[in-house]
Amino acid sequence: MTSEVVVIGGGQAGLAAGYYLRRAGLDFVVLDNQTHAGGSWQDYWPSLHLFSPAEYSRLPGWPMPPWHNRFPPASHVVDYLRAYEKKYELPVRRPVDVKSVQRVEGGYRIDTDGESYETAAVINATGTWSRPFWPSYPGMREFGGTQLHAAHYRTPDMFAGKRVGIIGGGNSAVQILAEVSAVAETLWFTNREPRFLPDDVDGRVLFDVASDRARALASGQRDTGGVAGLGDIVMVPPVRDARDRGVLRARPMFTALTADGVTDGDTSETLDAIVWCTGFRPALHHLRPLHLHADGAGIVLNGNHVRGEPTLMFLGYGDWTGPASATLIGVGRTARAAVDTLSRRGKVDQS
């Protein structure tokens, strides 16, 4: 099959791209490996909440319906994404598992578990959720308790009455810590001292901070540190409750795991389970045939596209692809920029 543009990934980034592609009048298709609409939000743990009110968590063109308790849960986001896809009649095909992307004359060939597609341009919007990052520590194989990544966490019930280590200093770690600590004894380990935002600061402010910081760095200003924006901890209601219960006490990171816990060489702690809230990496296995890594380093982007390949776009991977581009409110800006780049080329080509 042929198309001017193929979008790989049907989550929030893929839908935002689809909105602007349709508005630009480009012929496109969105390939999604999920069974149902809703992106990775349908795989998150049920209690996960957005960091911003619904009215500030929107894709282009249509606001998210209000939520009665300010910070919407993941299920509300799933409902919104499904309704958004339907409202704009976006041409999403699923479930389609993209196996590889290869260069051909005039563009790219995309091989899937079914059909193959030939296209002049690719917008890669596969996200990171399918690639949880596990750090490497001595003794991980010897630890006799339960280990799981935040990607596989669902409810705190499995930890009731146990002693649990929560690893990581970001919002996911703190939200999981908040609810696990209600049913279990928890120890919180971080590589750096956590930064807590004021109670009245939410994702609206973080998006502005991240955008301002990115603009300053792009203009050559020195990074003076301070508020990291989207990396700081938002005090959503469950996290405030955990603070009031006195459980938001971070410990320095251990150096190794033992058969029954963790150690820093001088002291040891016994644990029954460990939850690794250590982030994710971009899901890019299907792009290996393109050999995009430069001299063994990472993939180098020029704006939204791969350097030297102006019709191979990356969208929705955090600051790598634009300020706050992994958020609902931020991805629209970078999606518009990516599609504008393609539109300026006229009928998309490889010239």
pLDDT in tens, 285-329: 999 999 997 656 688 888 889 988 999 999 999 878 887 788 888
For residue 203, the model assigns a pLDDT of 57
The 3 state secondary structure assigned to the chain is CEEEEEEECCCHHHHHHHHHHHHHCCCEEEECCCCCCCHHHHHCCCCCECCCCHHHCCECCECCCCCCCCCCEHHHHHHHHHHHHHHCCCCEECCCCEEEEEEECCEEEEEECCCEEEEEEEEECCCCCCCECCCCCCCCCCCCCEEEEHHHCCCHHHHCCCEEEEECCCHHHHHHHHHHCCCCEEEEEECCCCCECCCCCCHHHHHHHHHHHHHHHHCCCCCCCCCCHHHCECCCHHHHHHHHCCCCCEEECCCEEECCEEECCCCEEECCEEEECCCECCCCHHHHHHCCCCCCCCCCEECCEECCEEEEEECCCHHHHCCCCCCHHHHHHHHHHHHHHHHHCCCCCCC
Domain boundaries, the chain: 2-131+280-344, 146-196+233-276
- Do 2-131+280-344 and 146-196+233-276 share a fold? yes
pLDDT in tens, 130-167: 999 999 999 999 999 999 999 999 999 999 999 999 99
- How much is the mean pLDDT over the chain? 89
| Protein fold of 146-196+233-276 | FAD/NAD(P)-binding domain (3.50.50)
For residue 346, the model assigns a pLDDT of 58
pLDDT in tens, 163-192: 999 999 998 999 999 999 999 999 999 999
Q: Range with the lowest mean pLDDT among 22-31, 59-68, 195-204?
A: 195-204
- Higher pLDDT, residue 279 or 221: 279
Q: Range with the lowest mean pLDDT among 36-40, 177-181, 193-197, 336-340?
A: 193-197
Superfamily of domain covering 2-131+280-344: FAD/NAD(P)-binding domain (3.50.50.60)
